[in-house]
Structure 1
Amino acid sequence: MKRYFVIGCIIHCSVTQLNAQNNTSPYSMIGIGDLEKSSFDRTSGMGHAGLALSSNRFLYQGNPASYARLDEHFFYLEVSSRFKSVGYSGTAVTDPVNNWSADMQFKKLALAIKPASRWAVGVGLMPYSTSNYSFNSKKVLQGSNLDIDAYYEGSGSTNQFYITNSFAIAKNLFVGLQTSYLFGQMQETETLSQDISDSALSTNRNIVIGNPFLKLGLQYSFRVGKAIDLSLGATLSNKTKLKANYALQVKDGNTIILDDEYYKSNYFTLPLTYATGVAATYQNAYTVAFDYTYQGWSNLHYQGINYSLVNSQRFSAGVEYSKKLKYLNQLYEKHFFQAGFFYNNSYLRIAGKQLNEYGATFGAGMQLARSGLGLQGAMEIGKRGTSDAGLIKEKYTQFTMTISYRDFWRSRKMKRYD
């Protein structure tokens, strides 16, 4: 029965005063919120395509098998942040001035080492989903024809702390296992107007989520002719039931009329997810990559009044030019430029319309001369949703910045930066 009035909230919501320090979206009240598609790495400028990509110098988060290509005796550190601005349009948006939101947040911390020639290990912290919404709506009380004013507000996120182990099991064949612990907290409030009581009736929910999560990865590369390197990649994530401690409190004004807390062994289920990718590099400079991702939500049978969770697909593609120089018989990357695009059929179907998202990305990066520091930046412009059927269209612009650093780990060799 959860979220039975979601469609009424989204279609009829009166969106006002949206400009805030946190991005808001009425769609994020469904499930565990908006699922994060970015790995906050070098793929951010390539349409988020990179399941087949790997590097001896940078961390690729999308495929845990990629870590096995890192150079031995080094440690690798990356931190990322993102600024995002969103504008909202549609008949449900009643304020033409305050119809936007913006925020800037820290997004990723990743550390990796390669203690052996065939084994790399990494740890990190990244977002998995976010939920943040605030709007007015109409609600029809069950068992009556009474249509009353309601206010909905919610915030929270689900994050993943992960440990990645990656192995080279044969020449140019790599496997990886990312063991994550998903954790987070979401707070939801529904406030009904005083039309039905002498005081406002509010329902508060506090959900604390925690559960292990696994992702397998595979990469294989080979050379075609003398100048082209091809690589294939694939990942598989298991179906996972999220457990939660669920606290419910109902208040009539300042009077608590219900205060309950219980444990849910199946608060929400993440579907089986698989993804594949292919990449080609010409003369160690020009790269093109394609990814496909599928999530089987329909088998989970989540639905409410006029909304449901459906199978989702994402298509990503990107290109990159990398300028490399030779120094002491080693290739040194001076800078790179990227572009890409993506198209995503999301897992939300509302009022018979599956929400789609598409966008373009641009990226660039450089390594500071004779230093272990590297800088990566990416811009993304995209759209999500539709203004048809009283829904809300979101147009966004975001900028991602990643700082990378590597240095020798337990080695007395002369330093080199490449």
Structure 2
Amino acid sequence: MKKSCLLLVLVFFTSFFSHSQSISTSPYSLYGLGSLYEANFGLIPSLGTAGVALSSENFINNKNAASLVDIPENNFFFEVGGKGIQTSFENSQRVENRNNFQFSHFAFAFPITKKSAVSVAMMPYSSSSFKISGLKIPIIDSSNEYYYLDVLGTGGLNNLDFSYAYKVSNKLSFGLTGSVLFGNTTDNRTYEINNSVTTIDKKVSYSGIRPILSTQFKADPSLTFGLNVKSPSRVNASKIQSVTVTNTSGTYDLEDEVKSNTDDFYLPLEIGVGFNKSFKNKLNITFDYEKDFWDATNQSDLYGTFSNQEKFGLGFSYQKKKVSRNYFDRIKYATGFNYDTGYLEVDNKKIEDKSFSVGLSLPLDQLSSSLFISYSYGQKGQITNSLVQENYHKLTLNLNLDGIWFVRKKLD
């Protein structure tokens, strides 16, 4: 029965990913590296994305590498996740609906000694997917002339994490993560003025490494504090560009796949803190606060500026019994809230993101294999002359498989 259940779940995920599309279709992915993507493992999406102080006892907690030391000895965790998102984009003139299926992540983790553990995780970091058609823009220093702009953007960055955790004592543990960022974005633009059309095709490739330091402190069995520090880092960039002009005289190539350097992108210092409090081993309250210091990067975008970002996450979870013959006693229920001030500022307005989430954890065996199901509803941005409001419904499915490894067979 257990093998049949796991097989059905794996078949579902295989089908899910085989039909996956771009991970973001937000118009706000026009900025910077695109829409920054936050992959959340296990039940974290149900908890308002709060998890800096959570344990990795039952799933891989990617919010804090120090938690990996809680993986039971000789256990091997493998996790894969995906999302389905229905979004409506609304401005002062019209409403547009889009459906999107996303790959979220895959990861594995296991202890290497009684005091240490490692993990490897692959996930998107950002997505650039947008389309602008027939945008009418006035020509500077001309009151009567306009040009028309079409823009199509695709691509994004990937994130490959290597993490190591070490337990200093029963109360204190540390984690170190090397985050490898790589990928590219394409930006195809067409400018039309009078009888002349200029086409610019640009592909920018990015690469960089970012160290992350984390720690957890268990004040007592029911209270844990966590800290996560992502260092400021530079993402190296280079571009290949082609420029073509078409007018009444014909078509001319001004540039043909010309390679050159472009401005590197700078990631800010990010500091996240959190706590997790349990009551009678049934009810848990989890809270996170994070601040990202974008002001210190001294960079801006053509269409807006980067400013300091704050994130708040609050989650509640309930499980009647961790160990029970009654299946329903072992189901964990969760709900949470999240507020993100955003790091983009357009026309002196921040692109805020607010969401509410619910979910549950369905055990698949007597170990830690579980299917985590989360639903979120949120709003991003606001309706103004220059901004769009996104209203989204998000369904997240994370599958964690737990196996006993590295144990010698015993003969009867």
Give 3-state SS (helix, strand or coil) of 1:403's partner.
Answer: strand
The letter for the 1-side match of 2:383 is: S
User: Partner residue of 1:7?
Assistant: none
Residue 303 in structure 1 maps to residue 300 in structure 2: yes
Pairwise mapping of residues 4-19 of structure 1 onto structure 2 (< 5 A)? none
Please report how far the alpha carbon of residue 92 of structure 1 lies from its aligned counterpart in structure 2 after TM superposition: 5.0
Residue 374 in structure 1 maps to residue 370 in structure 2: yes
User: Partner residue of 2:185?
Assistant: 186
Contact 2:58 2:368 in 1 (8 A): no
Give 3-state SS (helix, strand or coil) of 1:193's partner.
Answer: strand
Work out the CA distance in 2 between the residues paired with 1:148 and 1:392. Answer: 23
Please report how far the alpha carbon of residue 221 of structure 1 lies from its aligned counterpart in structure 2 after TM superposition: 0.8
Contact 1:156 1:186 in 2 (8 A): yes
Residue 387 in structure 1 maps to residue 383 in structure 2: yes
Residue 121 in structure 1 maps to residue 114 in structure 2: no
Contact 2:84 2:394 in 1 (8 A): yes
Give 3-state SS (helix, strand or coil) of 1:116's partner.
Answer: coil
Give 3-state SS (helix, strand or coil) of 2:28's partner.
Answer: helix
Q: Closer, same or farther in 2 for the Cα pair 1:306/1:156, shift >3 Å?
A: closer
- Spell out, residue by residue over 1:328-380, the C-alpha distance to the aligned partner (whole angstroms, 9 max, x if none): 9xxx9821000000111001111111111101011101112446631101011
TM-score between both structures, scaled by the size of structure 2? 0.87
Please report how far the alpha carbon of residue 244 of structure 1 lies from its aligned counterpart in structure 2 after TM superposition: 1.7
The letter for the 2-side match of 1:307 is: G
The letter for the 1-side match of 2:136 is: K
- Spell out, residue by residue over 1:238-283, the C-alpha distance to the aligned partner (whole angstroms, 9 max, x if none): 111110221111112453211321234x521001111100110111
User: Partner residue of 2:238?
Assistant: 245
Among 310, 316, 320, the residue aligned to 1:319: 316
Pairwise mapping of residues 399-418 of structure 1 onto structure 2 (< 5 A)? 399-412=395-408
Pairwise mapping of residues 222-233 of structure 1 onto structure 2 (< 5 A)? 222-223=219-220, 229-233=222-226
Contact 2:32 2:301 in 1 (8 A): no
Work out the CA distance in 1 between the residues paired with 2:347 and 2:42. Answer: 35
User: Partner residue of 1:55?
Assistant: 56
Pairwise mapping of residues 243-392 of structure 1 onto structure 2 (< 5 A)? 243-253=236-246, 255-259=252-256, 260-264=258-262, 266-303=263-300, 307-326=304-323, 334-370=330-366, 373-392=369-388
The letter for the 1-side match of 2:316 is: V
- Spell out, residue by residue over 1:369-417, the C-alpha distance to the aligned partner (whole angstroms, 9 max, x if none): 4466311010110000010234111100111101111111111368xxx
Give 3-state SS (helix, strand or coil) of 2:320's partner.
Answer: strand
Work out the CA distance in 2 between the residues paired with 1:385 and 1:174. Answer: 38
User: Partner residue of 2:15?
Assistant: none
Q: Closer, same or farther in 2 for the Cα pair 1:262/1:70, shift >3 Å?
A: same
The letter for the 2-side match of 1:400 is: T
Work out the CA distance in 1 between the residues paired with 2:43 and 2:332. Answer: 10
Q: Closer, same or farther in 2 for the Cα pair 1:184/1:21, shift >3 Å?
A: closer
TM-score between both structures, scaled by the size of structure 1? 0.86
User: Partner residue of 2:213?
Assistant: 216
User: Partner residue of 2:14?
Assistant: none
Contact 2:31 2:301 in 1 (8 A): no
Moved more, 369-378 or 28-37: 369-378
- Spell out, residue by residue over 1:92-121, the C-alpha distance to the aligned partner (whole angstroms, 9 max, x if none): 54xx4xx11111122111001111000100
Work out the CA distance in 2 between the residues paired with 1:117 and 1:131. Answer: 42
Q: Closer, same or farther in 2 for the Cα pair 1:385/1:325, shift >3 Å?
A: closer
The letter for the 2-side match of 1:105 is: Q
Gaps of 5+ in 2: 1-19
The letter for the 1-side match of 2:244 is: K
- Spell out, residue by residue over 1:197-252, the C-alpha distance to the aligned partner (whole angstroms, 9 max, x if none): 1xx311111011111111111100122xxxx7001001101111110221111112
What is the root-mean-square deviation of aligned Cα atoms in Å? Answer: 2.3
Gaps of 5+ in 1: 1-19
Work out the CA distance in 1 between the residues paired with 2:323 and 2:342. Answer: 44
Work out the CA distance in 1 between the residues paired with 2:90 and 2:75. Answer: 49
Please report how far the alpha carbon of residue 57 of structure 1 lies from its aligned counterpart in structure 2 after TM superposition: 2.4
Residue 89 in structure 1 maps to residue 90 in structure 2: yes
Q: Closer, same or farther in 2 for the Cα pair 1:27/1:139, shift >3 Å?
A: same
Please report how far the alpha carbon of residue 165 of structure 1 lies from its aligned counterpart in structure 2 after TM superposition: 0.2
User: Partner residue of 2:129?
Assistant: 132
The letter for the 1-side match of 2:308 is: N
User: Partner residue of 2:392?
Assistant: 396
Q: Closer, same or farther in 2 for the Cα pair 1:105/1:21, shift >3 Å?
A: closer
Give 3-state SS (helix, strand or coil) of 2:44's partner.
Answer: helix
Work out the CA distance in 2 between the residues paired with 1:413 and 1:114. Answer: 19
Q: Closer, same or farther in 2 for the Cα pair 1:168/1:304, shift >3 Å?
A: closer
Contact 2:219 2:225 in 1 (8 A): no
Work out the CA distance in 1 between the residues paired with 2:25 and 2:312. Answer: 25
Number of aligned residue pairs? 382
Residue 202 in structure 1 maps to residue 199 in structure 2: yes
